Amino acid sequence: MNPNSKKLRDNPIKINVDHYDYQILLAHSQRSGIDLAILVRQLAMRQIHDLVFREQPIAMILPSQNTVEMPLGHFWAMTQAPASTAGVTSHA
């Protein structure tokens, strides 16, 4: 029994995919020998981690409050316009 009850995977999430996506996921699951649910969870968590931590890899974890606090700069960077490309020449 896992001593940390928060780490138990007892919060189901249902997703609906079409036949083609299901066949791709199933084939990859069978080829890699990973259970389909584990594969989908790993893919989802990898994507979420990429979205949240790509720009700002430093987060402050507050174990006493069970929260992860992101610096405000992370959110401001997401709302700012991209830098100007004036003066950049293309060699295409």
Model confidence pLDDT, tens digit, residues 13-45:
899 999 999 999 999 999 999 999 999 999 998
Instruction: Give residue 10's pLDDT.
Output: 84
Instruction: Give residue 56's pLDDT.
Output: 56
Structure tokens at 63: 């174990």
Distance CA 44, CA 29 (A): 14
Cβ neighbors of 79 (< 8 A, separation 6 or more) are none
Structure tokens at 81: 């316009």
Strands (E), 5-83: 60-62, 67-69
Distance CA 19, CA 8 (A): 30
Model confidence pLDDT, tens digit, residues 40-76:
999 998 888 887 777 655 555 555 555 555 555 555 5
